Structure 1
């Protein structure tokens, strides 16, 4: 069986290939999408990667988190509840000698609540959950308590997120879609919390 791989496209580990487990619903973010997304994030961070902290709640292949770490992120926390995926994430982290990456085996929703309770905050949260399980709707509201001021959430989905109007679901309340695009069947979005009126 041919092994699946992803390639880091920027930073210290540019062009490094990392093996990925073959798991149901695992869809590593394509190179072209990552290129765009990291340009968006870089613009928002003002290139200040050395201080930036990232949380990847549905890490899967880990390619988003590895990409952030490669570009100099201070800390990247990867979360997945699929044991083979977690073992592969740990092996890839060790291969890269990536001291700035922590890998946790946990349920994303439970862990998000736990981290919020403990007061942990992040600059960027990656949300690329398995499709057709309504996980984005369940997870995004929890992210509000996990973001530092000015922090952002990158979200992938099988459909575009509604941005305004009467059909705006409750779980998007308080969020602003800063950037959005589509590649193939992937809709991807950069979200920030709306500024609260003083």
Structure 2
């Protein structure tokens, strides 16, 4: 697994052994950053001004890719010890530690944010509802800036017939609220995974 583009292009990233992490595929990562760099709702300038949160970071591939392409700063959240150690090694290898902070924590129980972040990556294990749980917890703890761009990876299909397919949601509202969900800016499917992108809108008119 390598950084795709930017100052660290071609840099090899370490991945923990075993099944504790599920790194985002290079194909999906390429597609995500193609959208971020060229879509009318984002673009290179916004990416280069971004304060990134890579939640459920694993190898840190998404946050490191953003830093390589010029993002101002990134926070990485990872709960497993092996993941934290691998992330630390990847940050050192990429010489990006000065523009990053590593938080060894559970995303569903995050510490209070020192500052709000403007680009949020969520790539947790599938079939556990962790995008919803994690983003709501991050929003309550002040990690998600108003208008932040949310990039979430979920399973392509529900686990059972009783499960609802994933859709974008307002992170500050409890489930079941009558407000209509935010309109996704983009949705793309890659094998068993699906990317959904939307803006965090804390004020519902």
User: Could you say whether these structures have the same fold, taking a TM-score greater than 0.5 normalized by the shorter chain as the test?
Assistant: yes
What is the aligned partner in structure 1 of residue 101 from structure 2? 102
Is 2:89 the counterpart of 1:82? no
More helix by share: 1
- 1:45 Cα deviation (Å)? 3.5
Deviation string 1:153-194 (CA, Å, 9 cap, x unpaired) is 110011352469xxxx64896433210010111111112134
Give unmatched runs, 5+ long, in structure 1.
1-5
Among 2, 10, 16, the alignment partner of 1:7 is 2
SS at match of 1:108: coil
How do residues 50-65 of structure 1 correspond to structure 2 at under 5 angstroms?
Answer: 50-65=48-63
SS at match of 2:109: helix
Change in CA separation of 1:104 and 1:191 when aligned onto 2, cut-off 3 Å: same
Check whether the contact 2:109–2:137 (CA below 8 A) recurs between aligned residues: no
How do residues 28-177 of structure 1 correspond to structure 2 at under 5 angstroms?
Answer: 28-42=23-37, 43=39, 44-48=41-45, 49-98=47-96, 99-111=98-110, 114-115=112-113, 118=114, 120-144=115-139, 145-159=142-156, 161-162=166-167, 170=176, 174-177=181-184
Check whether the contact 1:9–1:35 (CA below 8 A) recurs between aligned residues: yes
Give unmatched runs, 5+ long, in structure 2.
157-164, 170-174
SS at match of 2:28: helix
TM-score normalised by structure 1 residue count: 0.82
- 1:27 Cα deviation (Å)? 1.5
SS at match of 1:152: strand
Deviation string 1:11-51 (CA, Å, 9 cap, x unpaired) is 11111111110232522111121111112222343312332
Counting matched residue pairs gives 185
More strand by share: 1
Backbone CA RMSD of aligned residues = 2.4
SS at match of 2:186: strand
TM-score normalised by structure 2 residue count: 0.80
